[in-house]
Amino acid sequence: MTRPSDRRGGFTLLEILLALSVLSVILLLLLAAFTGAARVRETLSTRSRGFRQVRLVLDRVGTDLMGAFATSAREESALSLREDQLSGMPAATLTFTAFQLPDGDRGHPPAEIVKIRYFPRIGADGVTLELHREQSDLPFVENKIASRESAVADGLRGFRIELYDGTTWVKEWPTGGRAKTALPKKAAVTLLDARGETYRREIMIPLAGQEGNVTWSGRRTKQ
């Protein structure tokens, strides 16, 4: 008859330590995987927001410019463009008069004509640019109501406007030898996002060449 073994079932200290070591390695690998996935998700989300912002700004500037006009009857309707440098970044200021479509939130504007100005400022971080849009709803009235200003984009590395005068692209307007109220045939809007990537859109200006036919009120003469 054999004697039962005195050894009790269980794990030795060495086995427990080894199991804990393996479990720690697995947990570290899982943590690294989850952290990496979170970073990728945050990066993609940030890029998506930045791309959406750029697309909305290009669409808005394009829509405004497609309604741009100038008339020799009112010199203050002229389009002007100036490019400066803010902290070494291209920073254009564009001012023009445009026919304004009704605003879905505010109904019809006080007048069918508005004055619009796009201009950049140094952002709150002191490194990037903020793009602002200013609109005057009664541009030709002496006692006009206050202009409305809003920030339309932030985190930019540059804002540039180029105008095509029929032969070359220029960064200043009006160009030498042209009437002050002359309009360019088309415009190119360029944005540099926070990563330095460039986005460019060209916009035709339908009323270019009609400066002598459009009155300041926006009404066309009877044929």
pLDDT tens digits, 181-195: 999 999 999 999 988
74 backbone dihedrals φ, ψ, rounded to 5°: -135, 105
Torsion, CA 116, CA 154, CA 122, CA 42, rounded to 10: 180
Q: How far apart are CA 34 and CA 47, in angstroms?
A: 20
pLDDT at position 163 over 90: yes
- What pLDDT score does 131 carry? 96
Q: Which residues contact 111 (CB under 8 A, 6 or more apart)?
A: 100, 137, 138, 139
Percent of the chain with pLDDT over 90: 48
Contact partners, residue 140, CB within 8 Å, separation at least 6 = 74, 76, 77, 113, 216
Burial class (CB within 10 angstroms; exposed 0-12, middle 13-18, buried 19+) of 147:
middle
Predicted confidence (pLDDT) at residue 147 exceeds the cutoff of 50: yes
Which of 12-21, 102-111, 170-179 shows the highest mean pLDDT?
170-179
* Per-residue pLDDT tens digits for 92-121: 999 999 988 665 555 555 558 899 999 999
Instruction: Give the pLDDT score at 39.
Output: 75
Residue 72 structure tokens: 């020799």
Report the candidate in 125, 119, 131, 128 with the shortest Cα–Cα distance to residue 87: 128
Residue 65 has pLDDT above 80, yes or no: yes
* 27 dihedral zone (left: phi>0; alpha: psi -120 to 50; beta): alpha
Residue 218 confidence (pLDDT): 43
Could you give the percent of the chain with pLDDT greater than 70? 82
What does the angle CA 120 – CA 199 – CA 55 come to, to the nearest 5 degrees? 80
Q: Which residues contact 149 (CB under 8 A, 6 or more apart)?
A: 132, 133, 134, 135
DSSP 8-state class, residue 65:
H
Q: Residue 44: pLDDT band by 50, 70, 90 thresholds? A: low
CB atoms within 10 A of CB 150: 8
pLDDT value of position 172: 94
- Residue 95 has what pLDDT? 96
